[in-house]
Amino acid sequence: MTSINPDNYKLSDKTANLTAHEIFPFSETAQPETREFLQKVIDILLDYVNACNDRNEKILDFHHPEEMKKLLDLEISENPAPLQQLIVDCATTLKYQVKTGHPHFFNQLSCGLDIVSMAGEWLTATANTNMFTYEIAPVFILMENVVLSKMRQIIGYDGGDSILAPGGSISNLYAFLAARHKMFPGYKEHGPRGLPGDLCMFTSDQCHYSVKSCSSVCGLGTENCVMVPSDESGKMIPSELERLILERKARGQIPFFVNATAGTTVLGAFDPLHEIADICQKYNCWFHVDAAWGGGLLLSKKYRNPRMSGIERSDSVTWNPHKLMGALLQCSSIHFKEDTQQDVTCQMKLPTVALTVKKENERERKLKNKIEIFFQGLLLSCNQMSAEYLFMTDKLYDIGYDTGDKVIQCGRHNDIFKLWLQWRAEGDAGFEARMDRLMELTAYEVKRIKEQSDKFYLIMEPECVNVSFWYIPRRLRGSPHTPAKVVELAKICPIIKARMMQSGTLMVGYQPDDRRPNFFRSIISSAAVTEKDVDFMLNEIDRLGQDL
């Protein structure tokens, strides 16, 4: 057993009673004590890494919040705590943390603890820099350029622009903002009055809720985020999309944005991208693909098509390396097809119009916008506020490398180093093998579920690593699969989940969807998982649910 025991980490008598003000950076001479303190923290981290990779370890030591409060001492007091106390605090924190890197953790789209990516995150924390300018993060900014342009090539964009954002939800928001700016440039300055009418957007009823949230956050209102019905397997029905676009147009609204999901959060379904792209072209809508979840499969020749065929026709793509690719949290990217070199018509009109448009009607504003986007790129034109204390235009170096004014944040966390380091370690081939392995393990799980069809009911053949199923307890075995039986199976999910957490041996998620009540959805996105862990999952659910 490798459990973290907070009493196991003793500093020397000399260091134990020091306070933070007696080591670096306060004391210039405290190099040995500072090092001893940090070394001890690292011991705890390494023990935790061992525990995460030990199948005999529990995933969690569950306590209800009130009970947990009693087990922890979280108060901030008047006086400084000694270093030994801080060490105990670090160990205690990890003692009660859910081990999301444990091979029996199948609960979330981000599972696993990639060692190289983690090493990258440690370095990032130590470098402690902000990503807004080349001035203060030169190496990281160049890495960002290299990795993001590689990702755009993999998507199938020629050129383009990208940014790392704090999560897929924010990446989707960036897509929305860029789309609106490109099509209705007056909004940036004039707000809703700069719009020619009521905008509306479209997404499937299986989409991630962040898409609907864009519509609320950006002033459309959720009723103007139109939910397009999906088929049995969770894919958007293109004919329904077209019907709803026409319906909204008939009401006088302006359809401008369509979100397709490549890997839905619950079922792992892929919307038909080519058909949706055709409709976007026909009705002049921005075509965004939310591949936050499924994006990793772009790295696999075997699984990329037909799932994501047509993704290269999109205007923007959200892709979260912190999901299938196993980069540490957080790592999400948003990619745009449009960049500064693509719009040739704009270049031709340039000499006659110049940048000084005086009387701003909508047509001229659009032209000015085109020119601005041509010179600056879509992201910068959309989000730029030109803060003079950060983004001076008379700097020593090429300010094209300053990313800070492309985003709606000011500072940006360094999410690139851990991904860059991990990609170096894997190579393209390593990542491809990793994706193929996750899919192979998913196929194994499906096979095992089918082989035990008395105990498990597979809801659908998965397209991604999401496997949706019910557990059938003894008393319900052998009877026909009727709606009344489904109601019973659904009731069992929260009971088994509670038992999983109390026993600490397994974590698998459950949820209802539009078509069915509660069902289990396991996720295999951790590189630690093997066939024996998949068998453990199914056997453990059976063990916990025997008497239900």
Q: How far apart are alpha carbons 258 and 446 in whole angstroms?
A: 33
In the complex, the smallest distance separating the C-beta of residue 542 from ligand PLP, rounded to whole angstroms, is 29
Q: How far apart are alpha carbons 481 and 492 in whole angstroms?
A: 15
Q: Which of 257, 253, 228 is nearest to 243 (CA)?
A: 228
Q: What is the DSSP string of 359-416?
A: S--HHHHHHHHHHHHHHH-HHHHHH----TTT--SS-SS-GGG--GGGSSSSS----H
CA atoms within 13 A on the CB side of 8: 13
In the complex, the smallest distance separating the C-beta of residue 512 from ligand PLP, rounded to whole angstroms, is 17
For residues 327-356, which are near ligand PLP according to CB under 6 A? 332
Q: How far apart are alpha carbons 295 and 308 in whole angstroms?
A: 9
Q: Quick one: which segment of 287-295, 306-314, 404-412, 449-457 binds ligand PLP (CB under 6 A)?
A: 287-295
Q: Which of 99, 102, 182, 208 binds ligand PLP (CB under 6 A)?
A: 208
Q: Which of 105, 132, 256, 293 binds ligand PLP (CB under 6 A)?
A: 293
Q: How far apart are alpha carbons 480 and 457 in whole angstroms?
A: 11
Q: How far apart are alpha carbons 188 and 208 in whole angstroms?
A: 26
Q: How far apart are alpha carbons 313 and 237 in whole angstroms?
A: 18
In the complex, the smallest distance separating the C-beta of residue 262 from ligand PLP, rounded to whole angstroms, is 8
Q: Quick one: which segment of 68-76, 148-156, 286-294, 364-372 binds ligand PLP (CB under 6 A)?
A: 286-294
Q: Tell me the CA distances in angstroms from 480 to 454, 476, 477, 483, one per residue in order.
A: 11, 9, 9, 10
Q: Quick one: which segment of 163-171, 195-203, 252-260, 356-364 binds ligand PLP (CB under 6 A)?
A: 163-171
Q: Which of 124, 210, 215, 422 binds ligand PLP (CB under 6 A)?
A: 210
- Applying CB under 6 A, the site for ligand PLP has a residue count of 13
In the complex, the smallest distance separating the C-beta of residue 261 from ligand PLP, rounded to whole angstroms, is 5
Q: Quick one: which segment of 67-75, 138-146, 285-293, 344-352 binds ligand PLP (CB under 6 A)?
A: 285-293
Q: Quick one: which segment of 61-69, 162-170, 188-196, 537-545 binds ligand PLP (CB under 6 A)?
A: 162-170
In the complex, the smallest distance separating the C-beta of residue 332 from ligand PLP, rounded to whole angstroms, is 5
Q: Per CB under 6 A, does 261 bind ligand PLP?
A: yes
In the complex, the smallest distance separating the C-beta of residue 214 from ligand PLP, rounded to whole angstroms, is 11
Q: Per CB under 6 A, does 167 bind ligand PLP?
A: yes
Select 210 or 468, whichever has its Cβ closest to ligand PLP. Answer: 210
Select 30 or 175, whichever has its Cβ closest to ligand PLP. Answer: 175
Q: Quick one: which segment of 2-10, 290-298, 492-500, 511-519 binds ligand PLP (CB under 6 A)?
A: 290-298
DSSP state letter for 103: T
Q: Which helix (H) or strand (E) holds 211?
A: helix 209-217
Q: Which of 34, 162, 169, 442 binds ligand PLP (CB under 6 A)?
A: 169
Select 167 or 296, whichever has its Cβ closest to ligand PLP. Answer: 167
Q: Quick one: which segment of 23-31, 164-172, 372-380, 500-508 binds ligand PLP (CB under 6 A)?
A: 164-172
Coil vs helix vs strand at 493: helix
Select 292 or 538, whichever has its Cβ closest to ligand PLP. Answer: 292
Q: How far apart are alpha carbons 148 and 346 in whole angstroms?
A: 26
Partners of 511 in the β-ladder: 519
> Rounded to the nearest 5°, which phi and psi values hold at 490?
-65, -35
For residues 44-83, which are near ligand PLP according to CB under 6 A? none
Q: Per CB under 6 A, does 290 bind ligand PLP?
A: yes
Q: How far apart are alpha carbons 450 and 56 in whole angstroms?
A: 28
Query: In whole angstroms, what separates CA 322 from the centre of its chain?
Result: 6
Q: Quick one: which segment of 69-77, 140-148, 165-173, 412-420 binds ligand PLP (CB under 6 A)?
A: 165-173
Q: How far apart are alpha carbons 208 and 39 in whole angstroms?
A: 42
Q: Which of 504, 485, 498, 478 is nearest to 545 (CA)?
A: 498
Q: How many helices (H) and strands (E) does the chain have?
A: 18, 12
In the complex, the smallest distance separating the C-beta of residue 237 from ligand PLP, rounded to whole angstroms, is 18
> Rounded to the nearest 5°, which phi and psi values hold at 385?
-120, -5
Q: Which residues contact 405 (CB under 8 A, 6 or more apart)?
A: 132, 380, 383, 384, 385, 386, 387, 390, 391
**Residue closest to ligand PLP when measured from CB atoms:** 168
Select 224 or 265, whichever has its Cβ closest to ligand PLP. Answer: 265
Contacts with ligand PLP, residue ranges (CB under 6 A)? 109, 167-169, 208, 210, 261, 265, 290, 292-293, 320, 332
